[in-house]
Amino acid sequence: MLKKIAVFLMLFSVPMVVFGANKNKKEEPVVHLTDEEIYAELKKFALVFETARDNFVEEADEKKMLEAAMNAMLGELDPHSSYLNKDDFKDFNDKSQGEFGGLGIQITSDRGAVRVISPIDDTPAQRAGIKAGDYIIRIDDEQVFDLTLNQAVKKMKGKPGTKVKLTILSEDGEPRTLTLKRDIIKVKSVKFEEKRLADADEDSPLIGYIRISDFGATTSKELKEAITKLEKKKVIGYVLDVRNNPGGYLTAAIDVSDAFLDSGDIVSTRGKNDVDIDKSVATPGDMTNGKPIVVLINHGSASASEIVAGALQDNGRALVMGSQSFGKGSVQQQKPLGDGTAIHITIARYYTPSGKSIQNEGITPDVEVLQSKLEVIEKRNSDYSEASFKNSLKNDKAKKKGMKKSDDEEDKELTDEEKDAQDYQLQRGMDMVIALSKLQERAKSSEVKE
C-alpha cells in the first residue's frame, strides 16, 4: 500500500523550514536508549497522561491530548514531520489532487508566527496582493501566536463564498487588514504562451514562456502539451518560470527536468543508511531540441522547483536567473496508520547532479536579477529631433498616431502585456534567451564554415 503513496515534497498544512533558525547551532551526538529505558519512558508518559487527565481543573479531551503528544514527538524530528489526523490526511489528499477549498496560500511556521511561502496563482490570496515573505499576524482578529500552524490553516479554511479577515505584516513594517472570500482552489499547474520583449515589434523573435505554479499529478502531461504547442509557434527558446512555486511531487519534478534533458543525472535521494540511494537519470529526447532555456527562481521557489533548477543548471542545459531559492532539500512521505490517520515524515535528503545538497542553502542563480521596478528613463521617440523643429517637413508615409489616452483610460487595470513589461526579472530572462539564441546560431554558422 505504501508504494502507491507518491513521495510529496511540500505540505500545505505542515510547517516548512523555520526562517531564522540558528545554522551555527552545535549538533549534539544522539544517545540511544536501551529497550528497558524506552519502556520506562513510555511508562512515565502514560503516568503523565493519567495524572494530567485526572487533575486538570476542567474536563480533559483525551483524544486532543494524545494527538498533540504525537504531533510534538514528530515535530521534534524536523519542521516537516507531523501527525495527520483523519481530517488532516483527507485535506492532504484533496490538495495533492489539485483542488481544495480555502484562500490559495502556502504558509510556514516562523518562530511562532505564520509566514507566507507563496500565494498560489489565480487565487483569493494572490488577487488580494499577499506576497512571499509576508507575515499573517491575525486571523479574524485572533493573534496567530496562540495557534499551531494546523490551527491557523483550519481557521483560514471554510465554506466557499464565506469571508475571513487577515492582518498582514509586510517587509515595509506596515500592517494591513484584508478581507478575503474563500473559494474552491483549482490549481492549474502549467500556463504557457509565446511572448515578445516589451515594446518589441511584430518581427521580433517569439519566446516560449512556461509558468509552473506547483508540481502536481498532472504537471508532466500539461508541460509536454505546452512544449508541443510552443514548438509549432517556432519559438527561439524558453523562459521556465518557477518563481514562488513551493514544490510538489518528486516524480513531477523529475519528469519536468527530463522533458528538457537528453541525458545526465536529474536528482539523487539519500536516506538514513548509505545504501538508501536512489538516482534518477534523464531519458533520451529533449522536447525543445536544444533551444536556450532560462529558469527564473526566487526565494519562494522551493523543493521540487529547486530540483528542476538544479538539474538543468548542473547539466549545463539552462541558465538560472533571479534570486536565491528557498533551500528545502528533504523528501517527505505519508505513511498511513490503517485507521484513516497517517504520519508525514522526512525519509531522505535530495541532491543535485553535482552532489550538492541545497538544504538550508538553496539554488544560487547563475545571474542574480533582483525584482525591481522597471522605469523607462529614455523615450522611444525623443522630444528633441527633426520633428521638433518648427515648420519641419512631414513624413508623407507616416501612420497617424492615436489620440492621447484620457485620465480614465490611464487608471484602467493593466493588460497582460503591461504586466509583463513591469516584470523586470521576466524581461531580463527573455533578453538572455535572445542572446543565447544568437550565440547558438553563430556557433552553428561557424561549424558549417569549417
**Active site (catalytic) residues:** 303, 314, 328
Q: Where are the beta strands (DSSP E) in 140-214?
A: 142-143, 163-169, 175-181, 183-186, 190-195, 207-212
Nearest to 204 by CA among 373, 30, 430: 430
Q: Where are the beta strands (DSSP E) in 237-312?
A: 238-241, 265-270, 277-281, 293-297
Q: Cell for 255?
A: 519528469
Residue given cell 512631414 in the structure block: 394
Instruction: Count Cα atoms within 13 angstroms, Cβ side, for 84.
Output: 28
The grid coordinates listed for 430 are 527573455
Confirm if 295 and 318 have CB atoms less than 8 A apart. Answer: yes
3-state secondary structure of 239: strand
For residue 401, the one-letter residue type is K
Enumerate residues 6+ apart whose C-beta is below 8 A from 400: none
Burial 286-323 (b: 16+ CB within 10 A, else e): bbbeebbbbbbbbbbbbbbbbbbbbbbbbbebbbbbbb
Q: How far apart are CA 41 and CA 382, in angstroms?
A: 80
Position 165: which residue type?
K
φ/ψ region of 161 (left if φ > 0, alpha if ψ in -120 to 50, else beta) reads left
- 3-state SS, residue 432: helix
- Work out the widest C-alpha separation in the chain, in whole angstroms: 102
